[in-house]
Structure formats: structure tokens, C-alpha cells
């Protein structure tokens, strides 16, 4: 019995530290509707700051000071970046916060250096107490106390103070609150400060448990997302419950099934989202966070058609005059453009946000690789299998996903991608695990740089053109109707759910084809084709190019690849890439294509 109680307490201590991070994320989302990807970076900054402060002032002062310092960073983030994005779509906020992740990563590397920094242990709390004969570290009990106190303090603040009432009002209906004369700007700043300080506190309190390291940010963020989603976005009690659930599941799960560690949290999240779409204690969002704006259909205008023709001629003749590597690079860009075009179709035309688009890319890549390795087929059947298998995956994931909307849908796609990614790593007999599948090279006739390039060009350009035609046709119009005016579209007898489902399958098919070509261009497939950074890359490309512009994915993929290729030769290049992405999110919300077409419109010379 004592063993299980001690195991429970250990799980509870982990739950407390997870709760601190997730609570901050949840509060920020509840009030501002921003999914803050940089929340993990704040956690990391908390750990590093606490280490530095503790070297001068000792352990105890370091904890609150680090929390305050990180709170200030959060406030600064809100003032300089996010306050400009409240009216933008979720995509912009997500991508902007991801740019902040890159910038903070390099800033931390610059300030603290590459080595892990193990801080001091908590003076007075280094020992253990025996509970029913089992040793339990005193610091664990302290953490449990902090977790419960923070829960109580937040509850008190939300129910007993004017500030809390306003925050809850903002969560329920921001427009109404504004109409009643409350200045939301102040509220948002305070929210960001508190949310960031909680993340900083969480990071600082990790000091006796793990070293401050540059890997902390992305390690915690996925788990914090899971907790917030399971608990119900914006619900603090839900976040606590979910943190407890995940941590205890881990604590007891590994006794039975030690290999559960990778997949457990995401599997729980997927189940919860299917059974209770708004999380355990979450409420459906009552008001739309942004006024719905009817996006006019964007098709290629005269300038666009001329540009497309010029581009196509340029691409067709490229191998005749360009060096071999430029041809390879352009082929890479075409694959990414197809990947991004599918996502843009789903998000732009369909209004369905995906944070896990890598799921389909990776499915395609693995399908192609397994055809070659296991079925011994050549490249052509493998390239056919890639989109088919990805489509099957999209049918399954889409069936669950269309029951949700907005951020919840995005989170379910993230969970699906993470489950597949875990399978990629753990199901070693089939996927080769981390060592991947090697030797996936093109057939002899397509082996040459130019031949493979033309194959890539044909498939990618064909895929992108097909997506454009579908978006332009009857199906695309119905999809847009469901996106902009679901109630009216429903009244007209359009089955929105089925259209959305089909849109996900179409997007998944395109991503699968891209993944298949990618496998043959690199000769190998690894779990990173399924990982979060690949999904984020796709989002960044869609944003860079322009969410609604037909040329968006091509421009986005091109600019992104070239930026990465050029910048990655410089020191601290991730911060530079982050800054570039941030600049576009802030100053060119229509993306590059949007900015170009706006310029053409203003000069009045031609209409797109």
C-alpha cells in the first residue's frame, strides 16, 4: 500500500509542475484566444534565469525573481508582437509565437551557452520523509503544496476579485466587455504577465529536479498543450485535473508497460477529444473570437496567369541553364509547395486548421518506403501508394476531426500526428524506429538530377493545379460557404461536415504525394517526417505565401526554403529566420502574395 501511495505522491509532484506551465497557457488562451507556442520557451527562460539568480542570491530568492523576470518577458512579448495580432487568424498567432521560439532559443544559447546548467537544490528540503515506510523527497511535497496553492490562488483571483471577473467576462464574450467600456488591452497585458510568470515559476521550480537546458522549451510545450486540451482550453481546474491524469497515468503506467512513455499522453488526448470535444471541464466557445469576414474567392487574375505561365516556362527550362544543385533545390521547393498547397486548401478554402499536417506527409513517405523495402516494388507503384495510404489515414483522422472545430480540431490533428510519430519511433520492426528506412532511391530512368526534377515538377505542378481547380469549382464554393456562413450553408442543405471531411482527405492526399516524392529525393525516411517541426514548417510556408492567395504555397515554399538555405550558413541563424517570419506575420498579414497583389491593386494598373 505504502508503495502505491508514494508512487501517487511522486506523480502528484510531477503533476504540480506540469500544472504551473499548463495553467499559464490556459489562462492566456482563455482570455486572448492565442495558442502560445512560445510558452515552453518561457518555461526554459524561467529555469535559466533561476540558475543565474541563484548563483548570486541563493536558491529561495531566485524562484520568485525568476518568475517575475519571465512575467516581464511575457509582458514585453505581448506589447511588441502579440498585441498586434489579436484580430488576425489563429495561424498568424501560432506562427508568430513559433518565430518567438526560434528567437528565444538563440537568445538563450547566446546568453547562457550550450552546456546544461544544474542549479542548487532547495536548502532545507533536500531530505526525505518516510510515508508508510516509503521514502518521499521533501521537495516533492513542497511542489505539491505549491501546485495546490497556485490552484487556490487562481481560483480566488477569478472568483473573488474584480480583475478575475473581468478576465472571465473576457473569456466569455470579449466584444461585449469592450462594448461595456473595459479596456481589453490592460487586461491582456496583465494576463500575459501572469501566464508567463507561471511558466517562469514552473521552470524555476524545476531547478532541483533537472538542469536548465536548451531542450526544455520544445519538450514541455507538447505536453502542456495536451494538458490544456484535455482539461478544456481556458479552464484552470481542468488543467489541474488533466495534469494529474497525465502524470498519474505515467506514474502507474510505466510500472506495467515501461514503453508507454512516448504515446500515452497523446492517446489520452485523442480519446478525450473524441468523447468530450471541448475537454473534461471546457465549455464550447460561445462567441466567435473574431468577426467572421467573408473572404472573396481568390483566383488567378490576368497578372497571375501570366506569372504562372512565366514560372512554368522557367521551371521547365531550368535544368538547361542552372547548375545541378539549383535544380535539386528547386525540386525540394516544388515538393514543399505541394505539401503547403494541400494545407492551404484545407485551411484557406476550408477554414480547417491543422497543427499536424506532417501526419499525412509522413504516412506518404513511409508508405512509399515500405513498398520499396517490403513489397520490393519499383518507384512508380510506391509513388501511387503514397497518396493512397495518406488518403486512408486522412479518412480516419478526418472522421474524428470534423466533429470538432477551430483550435480543438487543430489539436486533434496534432495528437494524431504525435501518435503516428511515436509509432514511427517505437514500432521498430515495421518502421525501423529512429534508424528509419534506407535505400529508397528512384528507378534507373528517373535517377538523373534532371529526370527526377521533371518527375517532381510534373507531380507537384499537377497536384497544385488540381487543388486550384477543385478550390475554384463547385466543391470549393460549397466548402467556402461552410467556412464563412455555416448556419446559412446548413440551411441550404449543404452537409458541411461531409464537405470538410472530403477537404481533409484531399489535403491529406496532396501531402502524402509530397511525402512520397520526398522519400525518393532523399533516399531515406525517418520519424522526423511525422514530427511537429514539419507541421510547423508547412504552417509557416502557408503564412509566408498568403493564406488565401492561389500563388501562396509556391511563393511560401520558395521563400522559406531559400531563407533557410541562405540563413543556415550564418551563426544564430534561427533567430534571423524567426525575425523574418515575425516581420511577415506582423507587416504583411496577407503573406507575400497578398502584399504583391495589394500593391498591384493600389497602383491601379491591373486588377488581379
Q: Which of residues 106-135 bind another protein (CB under 8 A)?
A: 109, 114-118, 121, 126-128, 135
Distance in Å, CB of 302 to another protein, minimum: 15
DSSP designation for 348: I
**Chain centroid to CA 132:** 44
601 in contact with another protein (CB under 8 A): no
Residue 27 or 379 with smaller CB distance to another protein: 379
Residue 340 and residue 503 in contact, taking contact as beta carbons nearer than 8 Å: no
Residue 291 or 325 with smaller CB distance to another protein: 325
Span of 372-380, 434-442, 453-461, 483-491 interacting with another protein by CB under 8 A: 434-442
Total of chain residues touching another protein, rule CB under 8 A = 84
Distance in Å, CB of 32 to another protein, minimum: 28
Residue 344 or 529 with smaller CB distance to another protein: 529
Phi and psi at residue 114, to the nearest 5°? -80, -15
Sign of the CA dihedral with 458 first, then 460, 465, and 466 last: positive
Q: What are the C-alpha distances in Å from 112 to residues 50, 71, 212, 222, 243?
A: 12, 19, 10, 24, 30
565 in contact with another protein (CB under 8 A): yes
Among 251, 358, 455, 517, binds another protein (CB under 8 A): 251
Run of H or E including 128: strand 128-131
- In the region spanning residues 193 to 212, those forming contacts with another protein, defined by CB under 8 A, are 208-211
596 in contact with another protein (CB under 8 A): yes
Distance in Å, CB of 433 to another protein, minimum: 5
68 in contact with another protein (CB under 8 A): no
Q: What are the C-alpha distances in Å from 476 to residues 427, 468, 483?
A: 38, 9, 10
Which of 401, 398, 399, 403 lies closest to 412 in space, CA to CA?
401
374 in contact with another protein (CB under 8 A): no
Among 111, 176, 375, 438, binds another protein (CB under 8 A): 438
Residue with cell 511563393: 555
Residue 357 and residue 359: Cα distance in Å, rounded?
Answer: 5
* Residues in contact with another protein, shown as a per-residue x/- string from 498 to 517 under the rule CB under 8 A: --------------------
- In the region spanning residues 153 to 172, those forming contacts with another protein, defined by CB under 8 A, are none
Among 200, 558, 589, 608, binds another protein (CB under 8 A): 558
Phi and psi at residue 570, to the nearest 5°? -100, 155
| Dihedral Cα 176, 587, 197, 219, nearest 10 deg | 120
- In the region spanning residues 19 to 58, those forming contacts with another protein, defined by CB under 8 A, are none
Residue 323 or 462 with smaller CB distance to another protein: 323
Sequence-distant (6+) residues with CB within 8 A of 78 are 188, 189, 192, 193
Among 301, 441, 443, 586, binds another protein (CB under 8 A): 441
Among 182, 214, 380, 579, binds another protein (CB under 8 A): 214
Among 68, 148, 190, 254, binds another protein (CB under 8 A): 254
Residue 74 or 550 with smaller CB distance to another protein: 550
- In the region spanning residues 309 to 348, those forming contacts with another protein, defined by CB under 8 A, are 310-311, 314, 323-326, 328-330, 332
Which of 221, 194, 225, 189 lies closest to 105 in space, CA to CA?
221
Q: What are the C-alpha distances in Å from 159 to residues 26, 38, 155, 164, 172?
A: 17, 28, 6, 6, 14
Among 64, 277, 301, 433, binds another protein (CB under 8 A): 433
Report the DSSP beta bridge partners of residue 438.
524
Residue 518 and residue 350 in contact, taking contact as beta carbons nearer than 8 Å: no
Distance in Å, CB of 194 to another protein, minimum: 26
- In the region spanning residues 447 to 506, those forming contacts with another protein, defined by CB under 8 A, are 449
Distance in Å, CB of 602 to another protein, minimum: 16
Span of 54-62, 249-257, 284-292, 377-385 interacting with another protein by CB under 8 A: 249-257
Which of 541, 531, 534 lies closest to 580 in space, CA to CA?
541
Residue 551 and residue 593 in contact, taking contact as beta carbons nearer than 8 Å: yes
* Residues in contact with another protein, shown as a per-residue x/- string from 515 to 554 under the rule CB under 8 A: ---x---xxx-x-xx---x--------------------x
Amino acid at each position: 500500500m505504502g508503495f502505491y501511495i508514494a508512487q501517487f505522491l511522486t506523480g502528484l509532484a510531477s503533476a504540480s509542475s506540469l500544472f504551473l506551465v499548463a495553467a499559464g497557457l490556459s489562462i492566456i488562451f482563455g482570455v486572448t484566444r492565442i495558442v502560445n507556442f512560445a510558452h515552453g520557451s518561457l518555461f526554459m527562460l524561467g529555469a535559466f534565469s533561476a540558475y543565474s539568480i541563484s548563483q548570486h542570491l541563493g536558491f529561495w530568492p531566485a524562484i520568485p525573481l525568476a518568475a517575475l523576470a519571465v512575467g516581464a518577458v511575457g509582458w514585453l512579448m505581448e506589447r511588441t508582437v502579440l498585441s498586434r495580432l489579436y484580430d488576425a487568424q489563429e495561424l498568424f498567432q501560432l506562427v508568430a509565437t513559433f518565430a518567438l521560439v526560434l528567437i528565444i532559443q538563440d537568445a538563450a544559447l547566446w546568453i547562457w551557452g550550450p552546456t546544461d546548467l544544474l542549479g542548487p537544490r532547495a536548502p532545507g528540503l533536500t531530505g526525505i520523509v518516510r510515508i508508510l515506510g516509503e521514502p518521499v523527497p521533501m521537495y516533492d511535497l513542497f511542489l505539491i503544496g505549491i501546485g495546490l496553492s497556485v490552484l487556490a490562488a487562481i481560483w480566488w483571483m477569478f472568483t473573488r476579485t474584480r480583475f478575475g471577473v473581468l478576465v472571465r467576462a473576457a473569456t466569455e464574450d470579449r466584444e461585449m466587455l469592450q462594448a461595456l467600456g473595459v479596456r481589453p488591452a490592460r487586461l491582456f497585458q496583465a494576463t500575459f504577465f501572469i501566464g508567463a510568470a507561471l511558466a517562469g515559476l514552473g521552470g524555476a521550480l524545476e531547478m532541483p529536479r533537472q538542469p536548465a537546458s536548451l531542450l526544455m522549451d520544445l519538450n514541455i510545450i507538447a505536453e502542456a498543450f495536451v494538458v490544456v486540451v484535455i482539461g478544456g482550453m481556458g479552464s484552470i481546474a481542468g488543467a489541474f485535473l488533466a495534469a494529474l491524469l497525465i502524470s498519474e497515468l505515467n506514474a502507474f503506467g510505466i510500472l506495467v508497460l515501461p514503453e508507454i512513455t512516448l504515446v500515452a499522453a497523446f492517446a489520452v488526448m485523442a480519446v478525450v477529444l473524441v468523447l468530450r470535444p471541448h475537454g473534461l471541464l471546457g465549455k464550447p466557445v460561445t462567441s466567435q473570437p473574431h468577426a467572421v469576414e467573408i473572404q472573396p474567392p481568390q483566383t488567378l487574375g490576368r497578372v497571375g496567369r501570366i506569372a504562372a505561365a512565366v514560372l512554368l516556362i522557367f521551371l521547365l527550362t531550368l535544368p538547361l541553364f542552372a547548375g545541378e544543385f539549383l535544380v535539386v533545390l528547386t525540386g525540394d521547393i516544388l515538393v514543399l509547395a505541394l505539401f503547403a498547397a494541400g494545407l492551404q486548401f484545407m485551411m484557406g478554402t476550408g477554414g480547417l486548421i491543422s497543427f499536424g499536417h506532417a501526419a499525412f506527409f509522413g504516412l506518404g513517405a513511409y508508405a512509399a518506403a515500405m513498398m520499396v523495402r517490403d513489397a520490393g516494388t519499383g518507384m512508380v507503384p510506391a509513388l501511387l501508394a503514397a497518396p493512397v495510404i495518406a488518403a486512408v489515414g486522412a479518412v480516419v483522422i478526418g472522421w474524428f476531426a470534423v466533429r470538432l472545430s477551430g483550435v480543438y480540431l487543430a489539436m486533434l490533428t496534432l495528437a494524431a500526428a504525435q501518435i503516428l510519430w511515436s509509432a514511427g519511433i517505437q514500432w521498430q520492426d515495421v518502421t525501423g524506429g529512429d534508424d528509419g528506412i534506407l535505400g529508397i532511391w528512384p528507378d534507373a530512368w528517373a535517377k538523373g538530377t534532371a529526370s527526377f526534377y521533371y518527375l517532381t515538377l510534373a507531380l507537384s505542378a499537377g497536384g497544385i493545379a488540381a487543388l486550384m481547380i477543385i478550390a475554384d469549382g463547385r466543391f470549393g464554393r460549397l466548402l467556402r460557404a461552410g467556412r464563412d456562413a455555416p448556419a446559412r450553408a446548413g440551411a441550404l442543405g449543404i452537409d458541411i461536415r461531409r464537405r470538410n471531411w472530403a477537404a481533409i482527405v484531399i489535403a491529406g492526399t496532396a501531402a502524402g504525394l509530397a511525402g512520397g516524392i520526398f522519400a525518393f529525393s532523399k533516399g531515406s525516411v525517418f520519424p522526423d517526417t511525422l514530427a511537429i517541426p514539419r507541421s510547423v514548417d508547412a504552417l509557416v510556408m502557408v503564412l509566408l505565401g498568403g493564406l488565401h492567395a492561389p500563388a501562396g504555397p509556391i511563393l511560401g515554399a520558395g521563400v522559406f526554403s531559400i531563407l533557410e538555405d541562405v540563413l543556415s550558413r550564418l551563426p544564430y541563424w534561427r533567430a534571423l529566420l524567426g525575425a523574418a517570419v515575425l516581420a511577415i506575420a506582423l507587416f504583411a498579414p496577407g503573406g507575400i502574395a497578398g502584399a504583391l497583389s495589394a500593391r498591384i491593386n493600389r497602383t491601379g494598373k491591373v486588377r488581379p
